[in-house]
Chains A and B, each alone.
Chain A
Amino acid sequence: MSLLIKGAALFGTETADLLVVDGRIAAVGADAASQAPSGTETLDADGLVALPGLVDLHTHLRQPGREDAETVLTGSQAAAVGGYTAVLAMANTTPVTDTAEAALRVWELGREAGLVDVQPVGAVTKGLAGEELAELGLMARSAAQVRVFSDDGKCVHDARVMRRALEYAKAFGGVVSQHSQDPVLAGPSACCHEGEVSGRLGLPGWPGIAEEVIVARDVMLAKHTGSRIHVAHVSSAGSIEVIRWAKAQGIDVTCEVTPHHLILTTDLLTGYDPVFKVNPPLRPTEDVMALREALADGTIDAVATDHAPHARHDKEHAFVDAAFGMLGLETALGVVRTAMDDEFDWNDIARVMSRTPARIAGLEEHGGQLAPGEAAHVTLVDPTATVTVDRAASVSLSRNNPWHGHELTSRVVHTVFGGKVTVRDGALA
């Protein structure tokens, strides 16, 4: 089985052909076509940019438990359409992914879907209760080879439990991805950035400091234990300051930002539309600008979607009662390009959306250099296209898409996963 990707600009620069044989890149360059076996399928990539397949550190696939909102299959489809070839499926399913068996089930569903690598994230604590460690080692040693652990949706708020998790995960190269939200400081109903908008709207505030105190605590725990810590969906300028300081100290901390936190601001909540209700909440412009700057200078390591599909009825409540989260997989690349247009070239996009997330997640087959011998995970993008997002056109089962009607820069044209074309001309192959 072979595929010739013709005329793509690798990382937006040198134009070359890529020959893929048996799922791996066999040759790159002007003479690649001459090495193609007979019967090789050709994919026209003239004018397109080739990137290593995108890797999402933070996806909610909802299966098991809420298959009406998303399944591993439909989430994989959304990922492929968005140019992804690997996603990390968060553990807050029903039941929670806190055992090797549960992790294996998600992993196998991903293999059956066959569109992206679905790598399960294991819960840090049993049932996400924040009290007892889940079976981190068994999940790591299973065929799913879980390396990232998170109670996402909830913060591991007990410092002693967090310390133990950080220490324990060292044995198998694991990393704890923390949802940084002090539950007491934020309060049980917190749903809007605490500030002028929450004050005017009478919405319970979720102050940036509730994120920052946990980030500060965790980097100190990581320093104390000599462990890796990953900060999920960082959202406040204050957290960035802490992370910048921690990196300067040599503390092993990485962090991610969502595409939506790079553009959308808390001002959007004045209409009380729950599509903009997300956790952590949308922050003011000054935080958004700080996040962009930190992504540009490398303080923020990766972009992760926090793709959070919800059934329509779970969003059709009063704002404070509606579910948190928004879709992200299909629009992430366009949002990042739109937000970072002045700062980023394609190599930067590849760094924050593929190479670094793959490294953080321990996915050795992803995030490569598009070089011979590597697994053929390739995303092909039209850099000049603009796309007006239509939520009805989504392949996700859900429609909580905050970008509906927005014009985004660039378009994923083809996605290749392990040599197989999963998306052709923007549609599932």
Chain B
Amino acid sequence: MKHLLSIDDLSVDQIQEIFATASDMHDVQRRSVKKLPALRGVTVVNMFFEDSTRTRSSFEIAGKWLSADVINISAKGSSTSKGESLRDTVMTVCAMGVDGLVIRHQASGAAQQVAGWVDASVVNAGDGMHEHPTQALLDAYTLQRRLGSLEGRHVAVIGDLTHSRVFRSNVQCLTKLGAEVTVVAPPTLMPSGVGPWSESAGFATSYDVDEVLPTADAVMMLRVQRERMSGGYFPTAREYTVGYGLTRDRLAALHPDVPICHPGPMNRGLEIAADAADAAQSAILDQVSAGLAVRMAVLYHLLAGEESSA
């Protein structure tokens, strides 16, 4: 495994191997000295063309706990505002002897393009509306720990699907691991061509949260991007919450063993009620710690040498 650009790059065995490694890495988090020597002498650059706090810091800590030399570059807008092409920007950084490049970019496909230009291993840390593979891995890892197995489990993914890279990676990862997935959104926030896509990829679609929730073994809420509310996708925040939010009433109807996930940042009161976010069954903070373990596992498999790669 040279790069991690898309969930599509991974076999089920590779995913489970990452999870097994993540489980070991999880144990490291409980140690007093959180340091492994696996990536000593390896340089990882976190190159973020788009704002991020949790993903960037998660990758940074993951690299440091594996003893890599980690450098963060906030490259927001640099390739365009200074007139430099994306290729020139990343080639310049990689000319400094970089082994791993963790890239976040506001444009779909950017990580895939970069991987075609550089020698370093590239991890896609979110590219536009396309994919966020480590988020999908950490979500699936979290649910697998909660549910035992994803095989035959019904996962409801609810929210702004059109603009969500988390959805695009998650639907691949969950179905690959045997879950039954239903995605729920108003028609205006369903991706184009979702009909034939859902048929070939093996997931279901719905506009009706209340029809889907009673059979859900897990619920994943997606963030509504407030800046999109002026885009005419739905009339008002209130109407969205009533139609598609995980409200207090819907939480009450949910079985208490059903985990609730959210990739964050959350809009409390919009797509998720505070009661749901803080409920005993909420897996949201578990996702954060799992994210660190999964990213350690991914960096390990990509950069720790061929004998250890998945």
Give the B-binding residues of A (Cβ under 8 A): 194-205, 207, 271-273, 313-314, 316-321
Q: A199-B191, A200-B168, A202-B127 are in contact. List 11 more A-B contacts (CB 8 A).
A: A195-B193, A198-B192, A199-B197, A200-B191, A202-B131, A203-B108, A313-B85, A316-B87, A317-B79, A317-B107, A318-B109
For residue A381, give the distance in angstroms from its CB to the closest CB of chain B.
36
Contacts of A195 in B (CB 8 A): 192-193
Min CB–CB distance A404 → chain B (angstroms): 15
A392: min CB distance to chain B, Å: 18
Residue of A nearest to B167 (CB): A202
B85–A316 CB distance below 8 A: yes
Which B residues, 193 to 211, have Cβ-Cβ distances below 8 Å to chain A?
Answer: 193-194, 196-197
The chain B residue with its CB closest to the CB of A202 is: B129
A201 near B197: Cβ-Cβ < 8 Å: no
Question: Which of these, B107, B168, B194, B196, contacts A319 with CB under 8 Å?
Answer: B107
Check B110 against A203 for contact (C-beta < 8 Å).
Answer: no
Q: Flag whether B105 is at the interface (Cβ < 8 A).
A: yes
Closest 9 CB pairs of A and B: A196-B193, A272-B109, A202-B129, A318-B107, A199-B191, A202-B130, A316-B87, A316-B85, A202-B108
Asked if B112 CB lies within 8 Å of chain A CBs, one says yes
In the complex, A317 Cα to B196 Cα: how many Å? Answer: 30
A-B contact pairs, 7 of them (CB 8 A): A195-B193, A196-B196, A198-B191, A199-B193, A200-B191, A200-B197, A321-B80
Is B165 in the interface zone, CB < 8 Å from A?
yes
Contact A271 B112 (CB under 8 A): yes
Which residues of the partner chain A approach B193 to less than 8 Å between Cβ atoms? 194-200
Contact B108 A272 (CB under 8 A): yes
Question: Could you say which residues of chain B place their CB within 8 Å of the CB of A316?
Answer: 85-88
> Cβ of B85: which chain A residues have Cβ within 8 Å of it?
313-314, 316-317
CA of A196 to CA of B193, assembled, Å: 4
Q: How far is the CA of A273 from the CA of B112 in the complex (A)?
A: 10
The smallest beta-carbon distance between A232 and chain B, in angstroms, is 24
Nearest residue in A to B200 (C-beta to C-beta)?
Answer: A196
Q: Please, which residues of chain B bring their CB within 8 A of the CB of A207?
A: 192
Contacts of A196 in B (CB 8 A): 192-194, 196-197
B128 & A205 in contact (Cβ 8 Å cutoff): no
**Distance in Å: Cβ of A358 to nearest Cβ of chain B:** 39
* Neighbouring A residues of B87 by C-beta, 8 Å: 313, 316-317
CA distance A313 to B87 in the complex (A): 8
Interface string of B84-114 (1 = CB under 8 A from A): 0111100000000000000001111110110
Contacts of B107 in A (CB 8 A): 317-321
A residues less than 8 Å from B131 (CB atoms): 202
Which A-chain residue is minimally distant from B130 (CB atoms)?
Answer: A202
Least Cβ–Cβ distance between A346 and chain B, in angstroms: 39
CB proximity of B274 to chain A, nearest CB, Å: 30
A390–B33 CA distance with the chains assembled, in angstroms: 58
Assess whether A319 is in contact with B108, with CB atoms less than 8 Å apart. Answer: yes
Q: Is the CB of A318 within 8 A of B113?
A: yes
Measured CB to CB, the nearest residue on chain A to B190 is A199
B130's partner among A201, A313, A314, A321 (CB-CB below 8 A) is A201
Q: Distance in Å from the Cβ of A98 to the closest Cβ of chain B?
A: 26
Contact with A along B154-191 (1 / 0, CB 8 A): 00000000000100100000000000000000000001
Q: Give Cα A197–Cα B108 distance, bound, in whole angstroms.
A: 12
Task: Write out the residue numbers on chain B whose beta carbons fall within 8 Å of the beta carbon of A273.
Answer: 113
Cross-chain contact A318 with B110 (CB below 8 angstroms): yes
The residue on B at minimum CB distance from A269 is B109
Q: In the bound complex, do residue B194 and residue A199 qualify as a contact, i.e. CB atoms below 8 Å apart?
A: yes
Closest chain A CB from B173 CB (angstroms): 15
Chain B residue nearest to A273 (CB atoms) is B113
Inter-subunit contact B197/A203 (CB<8 Å): no
Q: A196-B192, A316-B85, A317-B80 are in contact. Are A203 and B113 (CB under 8 A)?
A: no
Q: How far is the CA of A185 from the CA of B107 in the complex (A)?
A: 20
Q: How far is the CA of A28 from the CA of B4 in the complex (A)?
A: 66
B197: chain A residues at CB < 8 Å are: 196, 199-200
Residue of chain B at shortest CB distance from A197: B193
Which residues on A sit within 8 Å (CB–CB) of B110?
272, 318-319
Query: Is B192 in contact with A318, judged by CB distance below 8 angstroms?
Result: no
**Contact residues in B for A194 (Cβ distance below 8 Å):** 192-193
Q: How far is the CA of A198 from the CA of B106 in the complex (A)?
A: 16
Chain A, Cβ-Cβ closest to B201: A200
B113 to chain A: which residues have CB within 8 Å? 272-273, 318-319
B171 to chain A, nearest CB (A): 10
What distance in Å separates the Cβ of B93 from its nearest Cβ neighbour in chain A? Answer: 15
A229 to B100, CA, bound (A): 55
> Cα distance A200–B88 when bound, in Å?
28
> How many Å from the CB of B259 to the closest CB on chain A?
26
B203 to chain A, nearest CB (A): 12
Complex Cα spacing A321 to B165, Å: 18
Give the docked Cα–Cα distance between A316 and B114 (Å).
Answer: 10
Cβ-closest chain A residue relative to B114 = A318
B109 interface neighbour in A199, A205, A313, A319, Cβ under 8 Å? A319
Residues of A within 8 A of B80 (CB): 317, 321
Complex: A11 Cα to B10 Cα, angstroms: 55
Known interface pairs A200-B168, A201-B109; A321-B192 also in contact (CB < 8 Å): no
Interface residues of B in 273-294 (CB under 8 A from A): none
Counting chain B CB atoms within 10 Å of each CB, the highest count among A203, A205, A207, A317 belongs to A317
